[in-house]
Amino acid sequence: MDTPQNGDAKIKTKRLQQAYVHLLFSAELRRRWATEPAVVAKEFGLKEDEVRLIPDVSSTAFQAESYGRSSLIAREVGRRFPRVARRLCDNSAELNLANTAIFTRFLESKNFLSPGFSMPHPYGIGKGYEAVSKFYIWMRGFCRERPDENAALINDLNIDFATHLLNQSACSSTYPLALSRNGISYRDSLALEIWWILLPKYRLVKCVPTDLDSFFSSPLFFIDFISDHGDYDKAFLT
């Protein structure tokens, strides 16, 4: 049975977890914590006795955990976005996203650090449990800052994410995400009247909107219409 004491403990735990996770992934926050801990603590609502529960961020153990967790996420994102990774790493033989400035910006963003900026997990366990859709949504916003300059990057981002969703749809029981197995579509960033459709068996076709009906009588999943918070209620064209 929940009691006031249990409720207070849960709130305290949540505050500590939020601060700890942000410190793990944000080098900028760790620098601020080292120079103005009281200010950072206030931002997270930490009380004086709770501050002492935060591990020493300069310790070898904390730095190892921070590096390890960031590297695991970079490896997962790199696997799901191979074209983007090659472009961000300048086609290096060692595609180490963790060392790129753009990936660092992603890890320090609200998109990564907040559960509300992702699609629901394909196994139906809710939002915030994977980084792939978080990266797509954040990167899409990054590319929109300079659309002409990032045209090739946004196209790579879309085809990588479309391939990921097509792979996911085979094992997803989450409606309506499972319907994306019919095909994933997105707009060409250079010519908005042109659309691409990634079909099952990974066949990519190019068309104009008036041709869409000739391809399918079943729903298509338009990743352009995924909201910035990962909602996709309006992403299906039926």
CA distance 142 to 157: 11
Mean pLDDT of 79-95: 82
Q: Rounded mean pLDDT of 204-224?
A: 72
Q: DSSP for 208-236?
A: -GGGHHHH-SS-EEEGGGS-TTS--TT-E
Q: What is the mean pLDDT of residues 121-132?
A: 69
Report the percent of the chain where pLDDT is more than 70.
Answer: 81
**pLDDT tens for residues 25-39?**
999 999 999 999 999
Total count of residues recorded for the chain: 238
Confidence of residue 188 (pLDDT cuts 50, 70, 90): confident
Q: How many CB atoms lie within 10 A of CB 206?
A: 10
Question: Which amino acid, 119?
Answer: M
- pLDDT at residue 211, as a whole number: 67
Share above pLDDT 90 across residues of the chain, in percent, rounded to a whole number: 38
Average pLDDT, the chain: 83
What average pLDDT does this structure show over 68-86?
Answer: 93
User: Between residues 104 and 215, which one has the greater pLDDT?
Assistant: 104
Ranked by mean pLDDT, the top range of 6-20, 23-37, 109-123, 140-154 is: 23-37
Higher-confidence position of 215 and 145: 145
